Chain A
Amino acid sequence: MKDVKGLKRVAIAGFGVVGRGLAKALVTKKDVLIKRAGDYRIAAICDSKGGIYSEEGVDVFEAIRIKEKEGRLPEELTVEDIIDRIDILFECTPTNVETGEPGLSHIKLALENGVDVITSNKGPLVVGYKELMKTAKKTGAKLMYEATVGGAMPIIKLVKNELAGNEVLSIKGILNGTCNYILSRMEQEKMPYSQILSEAQELGIAEADPTYDVEGIDAAAKLVILANSLMNSNATFSDVERTGISSITPEAFEIAAMKGYTIRLIAEATRDELRVSPRLVPFNSPLCVYGTLNAALIQTDLAGEVVVMGRGAGSSETASAMLSDFVELSRCGSK
Chain B
Amino acid sequence: MKIQVLLSLVLELKDKPGQLLRAIEPISRLGGNIIGVVHKRDRVSPLERISVEISVKIDEGRVEELIEALKRNGVVVKAYNEVRLVASTSLLLVGHIIHTDLSDTVNTIDATGFAEVVEMHISMPEVNEPSTAMVTVSATGKDELKKAVSLLKETCRKKDIMVIEPLNEDLA
**Residues of A at under 8 Å CB distance from B?**
170, 172, 243, 247-249, 251-252, 254-256, 258-259, 261, 263, 266, 270, 277-282, 285, 287
CB of B169 closer than 8 Å to a CB of A: yes
Contact size range, B: 20 to 34
Residues of A within 8 A of B162 (CB): 243, 247-248, 278
Residues of A within 8 A of B140 (CB): none
Residues of A within 8 A of B123 (CB): 249, 251, 254-255
Chain A CB within 10 Å, residue with most, of B92, B94, B165: B92
A280 pairs with B167, CB closer than 8 A: yes
CA–CA, A279 to B171, complex, Å? 13
Closest 6 CB pairs of A and B: A251-B123, A280-B166, A251-B132, A255-B134, A252-B132, A279-B167
| CB of B96 to closest CB in A, whole Å | 11
CB of B90 closer than 8 Å to a CB of A: yes
A254-B123, A256-B92, A259-B90 in contact; A277/B165 too (CB < 8 A)? Answer: yes
| CB of B149 to closest CB in A, whole Å | 12
B167 pairs with A287, CB closer than 8 A: yes
**Residues of B at under 8 Å CB distance from A?**
90-92, 94-95, 121, 123, 125, 130-134, 162, 164-169
CA–CA, A259 to B135, complex, Å? 11
The 17 listed contacts between A and B (C-beta, < 8 Å) are A247-B162, A248-B164, A249-B131, A251-B123, A255-B121, A255-B123, A255-B132, A256-B134, A259-B134, A261-B166, A266-B167, A277-B164, A278-B162, A280-B92, A280-B164, A280-B167, A287-B167
A278 pairs with B125, CB closer than 8 A: no
Residues of B within 8 A of A279 (CB): 164-167
Residues of B within 8 A of A170 (CB): 169
B94 pairs with A248, CB closer than 8 A: yes
Residues of B within 8 A of A172 (CB): 167
Residues of B within 8 A of A282 (CB): 166-168
A243-B162, A278-B162 in contact; A252/B169 too (CB < 8 A)? Answer: no
B90 pairs with A280, CB closer than 8 A: yes
A170-B169, A252-B94, A256-B92 in contact; A263/B132 too (CB < 8 A)? Answer: no
Given contacts A247-B162, A256-B134, A282-B168, 6 further A-B contacts (CB under 8 A): A248-B162, A251-B123, A252-B92, A252-B164, A256-B92, A282-B166
